[in-house]
């Protein structure tokens, strides 16, 4: 377990550093959007471009991985929406609750963390989860949140257009194209991309902490624990267990899925909620207090729950 904590602790410690820096005023609140822009439009796309270029194209569009993960995500969305509606939460807030329950922080945290634990071979399955969540999970949840007037198709179209404006899938696609065409980038360009990609992990983690502080700072009223604790449980426990169960069924049916890929998919599902959902909730005038608390607590508790999942799967860092 000590070897696992030696890998996971620095990742979560950087999140805490960002939180404390913003809370203490060392990092001005006005600087947080700039950090987000740097990570989302520069550093993270370069990191994903490099992984896309080094991952076989067949893995990036693996139908078994995609089908398994999307099916589990949609079931999590259905269960969470049903649970929230039964608790008296309106449809818009139920949809955003489902999004934080089904959308892990794979971009800012998951790719570098899981690759650090399992090696670069794990990048393929984790990138598949990013594509699935950006185009399917988030699109359906956002469409559901906007479908109060019954314009389901129009809302889904808007959500898909929003996913296409995200630079992450385009950077993955560019990397895959470079790999397929076996194009070698000029040395200076390759080194520049490498420098930006290497900056992605620490800056992204630091930014998560700052965003968590800003979300918590904006909370205007107390939220009962019963409003967010079940969603945190679904995210950290139910989601990875569901992916594991579905993967074991796929293995029993003889589908082309190996234990290594399944482990990467389960660990991706075991990550805390994506921090950017809070920004989306704010933009769509949903109950951001509830969403912010789910993200905050899932991130805080994931240090132990995620590390335990790594231990249970017998992952040996550096092996």
Question: Residue 132 is part of which domain span?
Answer: 2-218+227-312
SS3 assignment, position 12: helix
- Radius of gyration over every alpha carbon of the chain, rounded to an integer in angstroms: 19
Q: Give the integer Cα–Cα distance in Å for 36 and 45.
A: 12
Is 213 part of any domain?
A: yes
Is 105 part of any domain?
A: yes
Is 319 part of any domain?
A: no
Q: How many domains does the chain have?
A: 1
> Residue 282 — very low, low, confident or very high, per pLDDT cuts 50/70/90?
confident
Q: Give the integer Cα–Cα distance in Å for 93 and 60.
A: 32
Which token pair is 23? 């809370």
> Residue 151 — very low, low, confident or very high, per pLDDT cuts 50/70/90?
low
Q: Hunting for tokens 């989601």 — which residue is that?
A: 239
CATH code of the domain in which 95 resides: 1.20.1530.20
According to the model, what pLDDT value does residue 219 have? 65
Is 167 part of any domain?
A: yes
Q: Is the pLDDT of residue 8 over 60?
A: yes
- Whether residue 8 contacts residue 179, with contact meaning beta carbons closer than 8 Å, is answered with no
pLDDT digits (tens, 9 = 90+) for 221-245: 667 777 789 999 999 999 999 999 9
Which token pair is 57? 């194209």
Is 317 part of any domain?
A: no
The secondary structure of 195-223 as a DSSP string is HHHHHHHHHHHHHHHHHHHHHHHT--S--
Q: Give the integer Cα–Cα distance in Å for 210 and 58.
A: 37
């Amino acid at each position: 377990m000590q070897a696992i904590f030696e890998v996971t602790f620095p990742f979560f410690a950087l999140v805490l550093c960002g939180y404390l820096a913003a809370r203490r005023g060392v990092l001005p609140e006005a600087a947080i959007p700039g950090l987000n822009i740097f990570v989302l439009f520069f550093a993270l796309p370069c990191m994903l471009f490099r992984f896309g270029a080094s991952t076989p194209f067949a893995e990036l569009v693996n139908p078994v991985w995609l089908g398994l993960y999307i099916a589990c995500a949609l079931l999590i969305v259905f269960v969470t929406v049903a649970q929230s509606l039964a608790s008296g939460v309106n449809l818009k807030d139920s949809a955003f609750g489902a999004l934080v329950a089904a959308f892990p922080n794979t971009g800012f945290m998951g790719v570098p963390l899981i690759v650090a634990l399992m090696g670069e071979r794990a990048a393929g399955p984790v990138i598949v989860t990013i594509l699935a969540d950006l185009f399917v999970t988030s699109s359906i949840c956002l469409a559901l949140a906007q479908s109060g007037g019954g314009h389901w198709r129009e809302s889904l179209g808007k959500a898909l257009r929003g996913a296409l404006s995200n630079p992450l899938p385009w950077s993955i696609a560019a990397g895959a194209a470079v790999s397929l065409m076996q194009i070698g980038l000029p040395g200076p360009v390759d080194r520049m991309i490498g420098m930006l990609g290497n900056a992605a992990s620490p800056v992204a983690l630091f930014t998560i902490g700052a965003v968590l502080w800003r979300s918590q700072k904006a909370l205007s009223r107390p939220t009962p624990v019963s409003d967010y604790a079940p969603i945190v449980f679904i995210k950290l426990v139910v989601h990875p267990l569901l992916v594991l169960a579905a993967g074991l069924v796929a293995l029993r049916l003889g589908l082309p899925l190996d234990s290594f890929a399944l482990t990467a998919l389960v660990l991706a599902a075991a990550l805390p909620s994506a921090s950017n959902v809070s920004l989306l909730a704010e933009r769509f005038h949903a109950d951001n207090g509830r969403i912010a608390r789910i993200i905050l607590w899932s991130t805080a508790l994931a240090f132990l729950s995620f590390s335990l999942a790594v231990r249970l799967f017998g992952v040996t860092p550096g092996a």
